[in-house]
Amino acid sequence: MKGANNKAQGDKARINDEIKAREVRLIGKDGEQVGVVSLAEATRTAEEASLDLVEIS
């Protein structure tokens, strides 16, 4: 499928300290919507749960 929004093959999702956004929409490990939080809070939440924070769009 052609389109300007398609990622090139080989692009990887940003994880943990690669994420540059100030705020993120956090989704919990069970898929629940936590809400929009600071990147620092999202990182802390992920670390406490022994999970990676993954940026998706």
Q: What is the pLDDT of residues 1-57, one digit of tens each?
A: 455 555 555 578 999 999 999 999 999 999 999 999 999 999 999 999 999 999 998
53 lies in some domain? no
Full-model pTM: 0.75
38 lies in some domain? yes
Q: How far apart are CA 3 and CA 16, in angstroms?
A: 28
pLDDT at 57: 82
Number of Cβ within 10 Å of residue 42's Cβ equals 21
26 lies in some domain? yes
Q: How far apart are CA 13 and CA 34, in angstroms?
A: 21
Encode 25-52 in three state secondary structure. EEECCCCCEEEEEEHHHHHHHHHHCCCC
Question: How many domains in the chain?
Answer: 1
Q: Which domain holds residue 38?
A: 16-48
The residue count for the chain: 57
pLDDT at 18: 97
